Structures are given as C-alpha cells and as structure tokens.
C-alpha cells in the first residue's frame, strides 16, 4: 500500500506513541496489557489507512467535471460566489469522513488562474457557513471550454491542516492531485449555471474517477 507524502510526520509520532504506551502497558499491567495494546493497534492501523494512496487510472477530460475527493455529496444548490466569480454559481459540496481517502484532485482541466489561503474557524465541515467562515483555500481554473471553475478545500472540526501544491499558471488536469486535507473535511466546487449536474445529494464519490457534472461545450 502506498502512503501519501503528508503521512511522514503523523506516522512518526504515532509510532513513537504506540511503542512508548505499549511498553508502559506491558511493564505495569503485565498480562492485562493487551486491553491497552489492542485498541492502540487498531488506532495505529487506522492512521496508515487514512494516508493510503489508491491506484487509480485517471482519464483525460475536457467538458467533464470530476469528483475532486472521495466522499458523499451533501449539497447541490445555486449560490452567490463572492470571492472570485462575484456572481451566481452552482455549488456542489462533498463531505469526507476520517475514513475516506483525503487526496484533493483537480475537478477540471485547464489553467490555474487564482489561489488563496484563508485562516478561519473550525465549524463542522457539513455546516453551510463553513464554506465562507472556516479555514480554507480557494483555487480557480480556466477550463478548456473557457469556463471559470472555483473549488475550495474546507477544514472541519477535526481537520485542521490543509495542504495545496498548485500555483497560478500551473496546468490543471482533472483527476490529478493538487492538495491534501488531514482528517474529516469538505470540498466545494462552484460551476457555471448552465452546467449539467450528473450527481445527486447522497451520492458516494470516488475522487478522480466519478463524473459529477458536464460543462457546456464551447
């Protein structure tokens, strides 16, 4: 199993804690130490599971909007996007639980024309106001169909570390990685009003594979 590059520090700390607590449990509890060691082992394995990198065959896309993360579609609605688009857009939000793969992928192919990090609160990720009040990043891409698509990584109550690697001027490829969020969180995608939405609330998505919308051809 491949592990994500963001796992290094967390796994190092988890390994040290597991060894120290395990040794202390054996020393003080003797035969009863398994009552401590087994739950610790489960948590330790979950840390590795969280940072897994699945092997996925990413196709080339032009009009298709690809799910940027693994998770559950929790919102599809018309909103006012005031940071970059300054107008109405269709917002598709996908919530990630701590057990989901947390790699963040470009939803569309094109050129990165905007990026910004915002410090903020840590409301639960499914809260509607988390899109504008939580710690977050905003990225905009001008697509091959000449649309401007905005997407946003949002930290949640547990997720308090957002990483994104893209820069303005970079070439974005739908389905390919641009960032990572540690633990439960959310991704919002803001699309033109004439976009054909192909997902529905409650759908379970696989990042980089599932088509959630189709942009109007230029």
pLDDT digits (tens, 9 = 90+) for 76-115: 999 999 999 999 999 999 999 888 999 999 999 999 999 9
Of 143, 147, 152, nearest to 172 by C-alpha is: 143
Residue 172 is classified by DSSP as E
List beta partners, residue 75: 93
C-alpha–C-alpha distance, residues 213 and 63, integer Å: 8
pLDDT digits (tens, 9 = 90+) for 23-42: 999 999 998 999 999 999 99
Angle, vertex CA 152, rays to CA 150 and CA 157, nearest 5: 165
| 34-50 and 7-29 helices, crossing angle to 10° | 170
Active-site option among 93, 130, 131, 185: 185
Is the CB of residue 65 less than 8 Å from the CB of residue 208?
Answer: no
- At 106 the three-state DSSP class reads coil
pLDDT digits (tens, 9 = 90+) for 142-194: 999 999 999 999 886 655 578 899 999 999 999 999 999 877 688 999 999 99
pTM of the model: 0.90
Of 198, 94, 107, nearest to 145 by C-alpha is: 107
**What pLDDT is stored for residue 86 in this prediction?**
96
Q: Are strands 211-214 and 196-197 parallel, antiparallel or unpaired?
A: antiparallel
185 in active site: yes
Computed on alpha carbons and rounded to an integer, the radius of gyration of the chain in Å comes to: 19
The encoded tokens of residue 202 equal 């409650």
């Amino acid at each position: 199993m491949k592990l994500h590059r963001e796992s290094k520090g967390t796994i190092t700390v988890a390994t040290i804690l597991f060894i120290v607590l395990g040794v202390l449990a054996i020393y003080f509890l003797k035969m009863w130490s398994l009552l401590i060691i087994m739950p610790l082992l489960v948590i330790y394995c979950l840390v590795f599971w969280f940072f897994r990198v699945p092997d996925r065959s990413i196709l080339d896309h032009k009009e298709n909007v690809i799910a940027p993360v693994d998770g559950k579609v929790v919102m599809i609605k018309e909103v006012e996007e005031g940071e970059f688009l300054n107008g109405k857009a269709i917002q598709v939000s996908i919530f990630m639980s701590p057990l989901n793969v947390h790699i963040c992928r470009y939803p569309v192919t094109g050129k990165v024309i905007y990026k910004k990090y915002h410090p903020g609160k840590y409301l639960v990720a499914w809260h509607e106001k988390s899109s504008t009040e939580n710690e977050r990043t905003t990225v905009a891409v001008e697509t091959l169909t000449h649309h401007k698509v905005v997407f946003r990584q949002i930290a949640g109550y547990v997720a308090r570390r957002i990483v994104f690697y893209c820069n303005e001027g970079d070439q974005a490829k739908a389905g390919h990685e641009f960032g990572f969020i540690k633990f439960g969180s959310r991704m919002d995608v803001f699309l033109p009003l004439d976009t054909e939405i192909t997902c529905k609330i409650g759908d379970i998505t696989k990042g980089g594979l599932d088509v959630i919308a189709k942009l109007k051809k230029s």
